[in-house]
Chain A
Amino acid sequence: MSYGAWIILTGSLVGVSCGIVGCFLILRKMAMLADAISHTVLLGIVLAYLVSHSLEGIYMLVGAGIIGLLTAFLVQVLDTSGVQSDAAIGVVFTSLFALGVILLSAFAGKVHLDVNHALMGEITFIPWDTLTINGMDLGPSAVWMLGFVLILNLILIFFFYKEIKISSFDPAMATAIGIPVIFIHYLLMSMVSITTVASFDSVGAILVVAMLIVPGATAYLLTDRLIIMLCISAVIGVASAVGGYYAALAWNISISGSMASIAGLIFGLTFILSPKHGLLGKVLARRSISTQHS
């Protein structure tokens, strides 16, 4: 496969995973928590490296998963003990992230990650960092990791679909009929954490938030069905990745930045043009009412 094709594949996998998981964040009004987790997983990555002395994907996923859950847990604890929830997120987020940055700079010589790379990502290098087993070149390791995470996400959503749905829509009812709402919450948070980590290398901590939130927010404007929202969101994720790659080629700009910008552009257009919830739809509806009256 060509260099460009690998980058497009990587970006698309990021787009699909983030797009799907992000829908649930939108519906549960937890965009801010995703923002927090996308930063605190940095601590997970550094700790995973310090413990395992390896940059293998699996250690990163485990480390990020644990720190992601810790973030969600600490936010929950502060929240239920009376701290305002946005303040709770802010405190946990900045503390854990700061710890991650300190550790990273203290051990910078040993870890091949640097802060800049972690924050901004570097999809350009993805195709060269390949997975080799017994001397066989199996393609970029980021693609393997992203593929694994995508499949895991899809399996979890498939099996827990109705539980995730009801605990997002009506947590009280869900609890009453015996669905472990707390477990589902942490399950989703784990999915956010591992998705973030897998996407990290390619798009970086800051832009992964864009990929998590923007496609879902766009899809929300376009449909009234959860399952269709998930599909649209995934498609927008892919479209942002592909569009972003070509835009970056054309104007010689950062690939990850341009992916996030395309996602933002799609959102903007949808917001204006969406027949259901968009500005244009509202104007048209108003006009058709007023013409009926005149």
Chain B
Amino acid sequence: MNPVDISNVTVAYDRKPVLQEVTFNVPEGKLIGIVGPNGAGKSTLIKAILGLVPTASGTVRIYGKPYKAQRKLVGYVPQRGSVDWDFPTNALDVVLMGRYGHIGWFKRPGKKDTKIAMQALDKVGMKEYADRQISQLSGGQQQRVFLARALAQDATVYFMDEPFVGVDAATEKAIIALLNELKAQGKTVLVVHHDLQTVKEYFDWTLLLNKRQVALGPTEEVFTIDNLQKTYGGRLAFLDQQVNQPFVQQ
């Protein structure tokens, strides 16, 4: 069964459609890049899958069942700017929130949850920062805390919205190694990604999106100049046609 199976999903904010008839399904155990210009609806797609914005039509299936029945299988890394980092809490506490979905009503995170959360912090290299108030972390460290929280969710399918924004090159490589580790465990990871230069290096599959779905498939097949032009329109310039490394003009 496919980890993510979406058919005919349309999403509109105030009647203005931002996603139209998106239909795709992805195979298990792949690292999948979601690529498209600003406002293409990448975040909206993830939110629609997770039931955070209503869909005007279409169906979403996670391993064959509606999302609501599969919450525990799904991990989520929101865009970093979506929360207030001045909230009075520390890194460990935020990562523990990844356990809340498993704990159930009226219960507190226990020793086991704390252990899982510490392991997750360790994995992203943030163990020493467990007690640090979250506003006193750098942007890249905050991003890693979010990643650790998703790891603590112990999910099978992960949705990550721009996890590389604000992280340095070394951290980015470390995160990619981590994602590959998840993949090796048979997990499926969908990542919204902006840097076209690294798409081929990072992702097995790529989803090209701009309100409609332009293409989905193995990266070497779909990540072509032709498809990129369809996705980005006139905003695409080519640094070097030969190595086929497209890059978006700012």
- Is B164's beta carbon under 8 Å from chain A? no
* Interface pair A177/B71, CB less than 8 Å apart: yes
Q: Which of A94-102, A185-193, A221-229 makes up part of the contact surface? A: A221-229
Q: Which of B18-26, B84-92, B189-197 makes up part of the contact surface? A: B84-92
* Interface pair B51/A224, CB less than 8 Å apart: no
- Is A273's beta carbon under 8 Å from chain B? no
Residues of B within 8 A of A220 (CB): 88
- Is B47's beta carbon under 8 Å from chain A? yes
Smallest distance from the beta carbon of B45 to chain A beta carbons, Å? 14
Residues of A within 8 A of B100 (CB): 162-163, 166, 174, 177, 179
Closest residue to A225 on the B side, CB-wise?
Answer: B88
* Interface pair A175/B106, CB less than 8 Å apart: no
Distance of A175 Cα from B54 Cα, bound (Å): 12
* Interface pair A27/B87, CB less than 8 Å apart: yes
* Interface pair B90/A166, CB less than 8 Å apart: no
Some 8 contacts from A to B, beta carbons below 8 A apart, are A168-B87, A172-B52, A172-B76, A175-B51, A176-B50, A224-B88, A225-B90, A226-B87
Distance of A226 Cα from B87 Cα, bound (Å): 8
Closest residue to A228 on the B side, CB-wise?
Answer: B88
* Interface pair B103/A169, CB less than 8 Å apart: no
Distance of A276 Cα from B241 Cα, bound (Å): 54
* Interface pair B101/A178, CB less than 8 Å apart: yes
* Interface pair A176/B88, CB less than 8 Å apart: no
- Is B109's beta carbon under 8 Å from chain A? yes
Distance of A223 Cα from B135 Cα, bound (Å): 12
* Interface pair B50/A226, CB less than 8 Å apart: no
Residues of B within 8 A of A174 (CB): 100
Closest residue to A27 on the B side, CB-wise?
Answer: B87
Closest residue to B49 on the A side, CB-wise?
Answer: A176
- Is A159's beta carbon under 8 Å from chain B? yes
- Is B111's beta carbon under 8 Å from chain A? no
Residues of A within 8 A of B135 (CB): 224
Residues of A within 8 A of B83 (CB): 169-170
Identify which of B14, B74, B83 gathers the most chain A CB atoms within 10 Å of its CB. B83
Residues of A within 8 A of B97 (CB): 162, 165-166, 169-170, 173
* Interface pair B89/A225, CB less than 8 Å apart: yes
* Interface pair A172/B78, CB less than 8 Å apart: yes
Smallest distance from the beta carbon of B225 to chain A beta carbons, Å? 35
* Interface pair A224/B78, CB less than 8 Å apart: no
Distance of A159 Cα from B84 Cα, bound (Å): 24
- Known A-B contacts: A169-B94, A224-B89, A224-B135. Give 9 more (CB < 8 A): A27-B87, A163-B105, A165-B89, A170-B78, A170-B97, A173-B149, A176-B71, A178-B71, A225-B89
Smallest distance from the beta carbon of A196 to chain B beta carbons, Å? 24
Smallest distance from the beta carbon of B222 to chain A beta carbons, Å? 28
Distance of A161 Cα from B106 Cα, bound (Å): 8
- Is B16's beta carbon under 8 Å from chain A? no
Residues of A within 8 A of B89 (CB): 165, 169, 224-226
Residues of A within 8 A of B82 (CB): 170, 172
Closest residue to B77 on the A side, CB-wise?
Answer: A173
Distance of A27 Cα from B88 Cα, bound (Å): 9
* Interface pair A169/B87, CB less than 8 Å apart: yes
Distance of A168 Cα from B89 Cα, bound (Å): 12
* Interface pair A162/B88, CB less than 8 Å apart: no
Distance of A165 Cα from B88 Cα, bound (Å): 10
* Interface pair A223/B78, CB less than 8 Å apart: no
Residues of B within 8 A of A161 (CB): 108
- Is B227's beta carbon under 8 Å from chain A? no
Interface bits A195-234 vs B (CB < 8 Å: 1, else 0) = 0000000000000000000000000100111101100000
* Interface pair A229/B88, CB less than 8 Å apart: yes
Q: Given that A169-B97, A176-B71 are contacting pairs, would A223 and B51 also be in contact in the complex, using a CB cutoff of 8 Å?
A: no
- Is B112's beta carbon under 8 Å from chain A? no
Q: Given that A172-B78, A172-B82, A178-B101 are contacting pairs, would A162 and B87 also be in contact in the complex, using a CB cutoff of 8 Å?
A: no
Distance of A84 Cα from B108 Cα, bound (Å): 37
Q: 8 nearest interchain CB pairs?
A: A177-B101, A224-B133, A176-B50, A170-B83, A169-B87, A178-B71, A176-B76, A226-B88
Identify which of A166, A173, A229 gathers the most chain B CB atoms within 10 Å of its CB. A173
| Contacting residues of chain B (49-76) with chain A, CB-CB under 8 angstroms | 50-52, 68, 71, 74, 76
| Contacting residues of chain A (269-283) with chain B, CB-CB under 8 angstroms | none
Residues of A within 8 A of B78 (CB): 170, 172-173
Distance of A242 Cα from B24 Cα, bound (Å): 65
Distance of A220 Cα from B133 Cα, bound (Å): 13
Smallest distance from the beta carbon of A243 to chain B beta carbons, Å? 25
Residues of A within 8 A of B87 (CB): 27, 168-169, 226
